[in-house]
Amino acid sequence: MPARRPPADARRPRRARLSRSGDFDRVYRQGRSRANRQLVVYRFPRPDSDTPRLGVSVSRKVGGAVERNRIKRLLREAFWAAEPAPRGEDFVIVARPPARELADGDGLEGLAAALGELLVEPGPEPAP
* CATH class belonging to 34-118: alpha beta
Distance CA 73, CA 64 (A): 14
Q: Is the pTM of this model over 0.85?
A: no
pLDDT digits (tens, 9 = 90+) for 29-56: 999 999 999 999 999 998 887 888 899 9
Quick one: what percent of the chain has pLDDT higher than 70?
Answer: 80
Residue 18, pLDDT > 70, answer yes
From edge to edge, which strands make up the β-sheet containing 89-95?
32-35, 39-45, 89-95, 53-58
Query: What is the reported pLDDT for 1?
Result: 52
Instruction: List the chain domain ranges.
Output: 34-118
Q: Does residue 125 have a pLDDT over 80?
A: no
Q: What is the mean pLDDT of residues 108-123?
A: 85
